[in-house]
């Protein structure tokens, strides 16, 4: 009678270790694939949500563009910037309330139902920002400060120790300041500053810069297209130079020189990327603007 075996042979051990290694490798590979798939799905859901938010915001703003105000679409290849500026109405009653000064004048600051909106994208930072001008800006000047700014006579005297000035978004019909072929929204929109020299005393364009809020990160290949009433298309993508503007119109849609070339459709296209999930998606959507008969 032979004695029972007390140990595995070397070959059996090697075979067993090889099988364990194969099973562990397969399990690890499957786990990594599932993890990557989960990350990719989460990234796509996040990007889809961001794109949806962007569409809803753009659609909400372009549907209330004011046809009597000028608008600008600029593209600069040197700085890789895209800029779209227009005036629109506000969305709801809460937009009129300024809690900082509500106690002073009874709550609602109903100076205007119009604000400027600026969509700005830079290819280097891959950030799309959106900003809205404030319905009013307050500037307080002490009695001992210089008062020779252009909107107030240099010899005027203020009865109180301080005086308060209010700036509201100013509807601009012009797109240039006497310079043929140049569109300069920063100069035009800053015309409603009081020029007091105070930090708080700024014009509409500077206010848009200050209030810029990031809307999309890791946003590349952004393009804004304006499909105009005359059938032309203006494109800004940051790779070529464009300085285009449409002057404001009268309420019947007419201008001094006839029907103005204004956009009837705004199209936005961009790509979002999630480096960790190694995934990207391109989005494109269009938003209509109100016709002249809506006003």
pLDDT the model gives residue 53? 95
Does residue 56 surpass a pLDDT of 70?
Answer: yes
Average pLDDT over the chain, rounded to an integer: 81
Specify the pLDDT at position 182.
65
Question: In the predicted model, is pLDDT for residue 51 greater than 90?
Answer: yes
Please report the pLDDT score of residue 145 as a whole number.
61
Looking at the DSSP bridge assignments, the partners of residue 236 are 224
Does pLDDT of 1 surpass 60?
Answer: no
Q: What percent of the chain has pLDDT over 70?
A: 75
In the chain, where the domains are located: 39-294
Query: Is pLDDT of 144 > 70?
Result: no
Residue 2 has pLDDT above 60, yes or no: no
pLDDT reading at 150 higher than 50:
no
Mean pLDDT of all residues in 173-200: 80
Is the predicted pLDDT of residue 152 greater than 80, yes or no?
no
**pLDDT band at residue 28 under the 50/70/90 scheme:** confident
Burial 90-103 (b: 16+ CB within 10 A, else e): beeeebbebeeeee
Phi, psi of 12 (to 5 degrees): -65, -40
Higher pLDDT, 294 or 41: 41
Each residue of 89-143: pLDDT tens digit?
A: 876 555 555 544 444 443 445 567 889 999 999 999 999 999 999 888 887 776 6
pLDDT at 173: 85
Closest residue by Cα to residue 226 from 274, 187, 260: 260
Which pLDDT score, from 0 to 100, does residue 38 have?
74
Structure tokens at 109: 């600051």
Query: How much is the pLDDT for 268?
Result: 97
For the stretch 234-281, pLDDT in tens is: 999 999 999 999 888 776 666 655 556 789 999 999 999 998 888 999
Lowest mean pLDDT among 29-38, 91-100, 210-219: 91-100
Distant-in-sequence, close-in-space partners of 107: CB < 8 Å, separation ≥ 6 = 97
Tokens of 184: 């300069």
The pLDDT of 48-65, averaged and rounded, is: 94
The answer to which of 74-78, 151-155, 167-171 has the lowest mean pLDDT is 151-155
Tell me the pLDDT band of 5, cut-offs 50, 70 and 90.
Answer: low
Range list of β-strands (E), 123-161: 127-132, 137-142
Cα gap 69→164, rounded to integer Å: 28
């Amino acid at each position: 009678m032979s004695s029972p075996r007390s140990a595995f042979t070397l070959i059996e051990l090697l075979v067993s270790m090889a099988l364990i290694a194969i099973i562990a490798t397969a399990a690890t590979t499957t786990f990594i694939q599932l993890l990557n798939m989960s990350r990719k799905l989460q990234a796509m859901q996040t990007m889809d949500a961001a794109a949806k938010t962007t569409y809803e915001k753009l659609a909400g703003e372009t549907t209330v563009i004011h046809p009597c105000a000028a608008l600008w679409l600029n593209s600069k290849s040197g700085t890789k910037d895209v800029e779209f500026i227009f005036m629109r109405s506000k969305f709801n009653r809460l937009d009129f309330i300024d809690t900082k000064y509500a106690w002073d004048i009874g709550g609602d600051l109903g100076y205007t139902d119009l604000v400027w909106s600026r969509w700005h994208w830079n290819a280097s930072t891959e950030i799309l920002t959106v900003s809205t001008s404030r319905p009013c800006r307050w500037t307080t000047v002490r009695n001992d400060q210089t008062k020779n700014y252009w909107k107030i006579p240099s010899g005027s005297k203020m009865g109180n120790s301080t005086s308060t000035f209010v700036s509201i978004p100013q509807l601009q019909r012009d797109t240039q300041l006497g310079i043929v072929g140049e569109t300069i929204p920063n100069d035009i929109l800053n015309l409603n500053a009081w020029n007091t020299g105070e930090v708080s005393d700024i014009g509409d364009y500077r206010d848009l810069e200050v209030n810029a809020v990031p809307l999309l990160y890791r946003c590349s290949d952004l393009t804004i297209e304006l499909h105009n009433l005359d059938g032309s298309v203006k494109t800004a993508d940051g790779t070529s130079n464009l300085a285009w503007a449409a002057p404001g119109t009268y309420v019947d849609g007419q201008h001094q020189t006839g029907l103005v070339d204004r956009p009837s459709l705004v199209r936005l296209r961009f790509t979002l990327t999630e480096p960790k999930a190694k995934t990207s998606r391109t989005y494109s959507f269009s938003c209509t603007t109100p016709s002249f008969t809506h006003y």
